Every structure is written in C-alpha cells, then in structure tokens.
Amino acid sequence: MVLEAKEELGQTIVHQLKTSLSQTLDYFSPLAGPFATIELEYNTSSFFIDCSNAGVLFVHAAANRITIFDRGGGEEGPRFQRWFPNGFAGLFGFHDFIPPCLQVRFFHFTKESIANLKTKANAEVGTDKISSLQALLSYIWRTVIRCKNLDPVEETNLFLPVSAKSRLHQLSQQYIGNAMLGGVITMKVKDLLEKGLRNAAWETNKSISSV
C-alpha cells in the first residue's frame, strides 16, 4: 500500500508539472518552437527560434531502487530550501497577464556590420568598453523608435535582462536555475534620435555595468 501511494503521488506530481509547463507556454509561445540554425556566408551561422508551436519535450525518468543517498557515499542527501534575495517577496503569477499578439521579424546583421557598429560607438564616446551586443541593441532601439514617429518629448524605455549569477554575492553556489536582474534605460525620444548611436550605446553600457 505504501509503494502504491508513492507511485500515485509521483504520477500526480508529473501531471502537475506537465500542466504547469503547458499553461506557461500559452504566455511564452516562442518557447514552444524548436531552436533552428541557418548556415550563412563567411563561415557564420544564424540562430533563431522557429515559432512553429511544435511544443516541447517533457521527459520523466524513473530510477527504481535508487535514492538520493546513493549519490556517492554521503550519509545525508542534498538539502534544498527556498531562497529569495533580500527585499524580494517571492514568486509572482501571471493571472492577469494577457499575452500580446506575436509579431515575428527576422533581421540578419553580418559580422562586419556588427564590428562597424561597435567601432563607431566606441570611437564616438572615446572608449573601448562598449560591446558588440550593446552597440547592436542601441542601434535596433533607435531604429524601432524612429519608425514609430513618436512625440519627441515622449519617454521611451529599453529593458535589458542581465544574468545575475555573477552579480548576486548572496546567491548560494548550490543555487539551481537561472538568476536574472533587469536594467531599464529611460530616454526622451528626441535625445535618443538626435544624440546619435554613441549616446544610446554608452547609456546601455552604464546600465549593464551598474546592475
């Protein structure tokens, strides 16, 4: 009876995990597409998510007669505990979140184009700290805002997800999963467009460095 109860509990947990994953993909539909690669010229490759709604692979592996105590000689198994950064209340839900319509656009930037953007941004600022990614993100930000024809005095924001694993000193080395912090750059449309690539790229660099 005990063994049957454990098996029933295990199946319930698996079912809950699959249901939770399925519901999450309703909000983040690109994650339901496979990761694809296209070989390009100059021995370069382009990586993208094929938004085909193909779904994701869910694997449930069972290791009969093996417990966490069989991991290599220790008397106690691993200890897991919930942990949140100081001042953070905990998990948040998406009950009131309405996913926007997904619009897909593909742009290809050659290796030379990205290198030129990086060189241009660093030369205009007089530094060598602006990365290729920061220069490219700034270029895309300015291009998108220019196409929207917004009021020059309106504020526009660029949100930058930044990996927090190397930045959160209180994060345990046993932490499992992703850790992310967010940097937000706010700028008036007029300043973003009229002050050139250097201004946007330098603000992007400072925002990431300050996280």
Rg over alpha carbons for the chain, rounded to the nearest Å, is: 23
Q: Note the pLDDT of residue 13.
A: 85
For the chain, give the percent of residues with pLDDT over 70: 78
In the chain, list all ranges with CATH 3.30.559.10: 109-211
CB 185 within 8 A of CB 142: no
Among the four given CATH numbers 2.40.30.10, 3.40.50.620, 3.40.50.300, 3.30.559.10, the one describing domain 109-211: 3.30.559.10
How many degrees, rounded to 5, is the angle at CA 145 between CA 144 and CA 149?
115
Task: Find the farthest-apart pair of alpha carbons in the chain and give their distance in angstroms, rounded.
Answer: 74
Please tell me whether the overall predicted TM-score, pTM, comes out greater than 0.85 for this model. Answer: no
Q: Is the pLDDT of residue 46 over 80?
A: no
